[in-house]
Structure 1
Amino acid sequence: MRKAIMAMLAATVTLSAALPAIAQVNLRQLNQERRTDAGDRSGKLTRAESARLKAQQRSIDRLEARQRAGHGGRLTPADKRMIHDRQAEADRAITHQKHDSQRGRNHLKL
């Protein structure tokens, strides 16, 4: 009985340690998608800029899926670092595109 309880406790600790990393990656991805959509709606992004930024996010999604598939559904520290670097690059691209002089057709001067 004691071994079964210890095994369940170990599984719970392992799962709870993995969830924050997964949530952090997914939360950042969601936030960047929202920023791109907001820029599209406000007119701060052109259609082409928005399409490129969304393609960049899809590329990061595919990278994450490939890494998870290759490691049994988990991300290694190197995988997390790679995704983090790609997300940081996407973050800079969103900021740059939203603040350049090009405007989309729904320009609202926010």
Structure 2
Amino acid sequence: MAALAATLTVSAALPATAQVNLRQRNQERRIDAGDRSGKLTRVESARLKAQQRSIERLEARQRARHGGRLTSADKRMIHDRQAQADRAITHQKHDSQRGRNHLKL
């Protein structure tokens, strides 16, 4: 709980761009943790990582289009894609399929 509160406090103080990158890193860590624990299969992990790369490419395209900045519409679009990825990570980590470690945590 303390770590969550600290993360929320830090993220509230960060500019929106840093929040985008922080969320991206957190989701990549969740995918890696699911891969290590066996909650994700290799296929699920690869698909989720590809989804994260797609969001990174979208952010880069939007930044290039707007001189290195993200507009509020860009931030909203990226946020929506990250929310969709978050739901996919949660769904895949909690389905009945297990990865190579076959752990049922």
Bin for the TM-score computed over the shorter chain? 0.7 to 0.9
Give the TM-score, by structure 1 length: 0.81
Which structure 1 residue ranges, 5 or more long, are not aligned? 1-18
Work out whether 1:102 is the aligned partner of 2:97: yes
Q: Percent identity?
A: 91
CA distances 1:14-68 after superposition (whole Å, capped 9, x unpaired):
xxxxx61111000000000000000000000000000000000000000000000
Provide the C-alpha distance between the structure 1 equivalents of 2:102 and 2:93, rounded to a whole number of angstroms: 11
Q: Deviations along 1:55-93, whole A, 9 cap, x unmatched?
A: 000000000000000000000000000000000000000
1:21 pairs with 2:31 = no
Q: Distance in 2 between matches of 1:33 and 1:61?
A: 11
Confirm or deny that 1:30 pairs with 2:31. Answer: no
What does residue 40 of structure 2 align with?
Answer: 45
Shift of 1:106: 1.1
The structure with the largest alpha-carbon Rg is 1
Structure 2 unaligned segments of length 5 or more: list them.
1-13
Describe the SS at the equivalent of 2:78: helix
Q: TM-score, normalised by structure 2?
A: 0.85
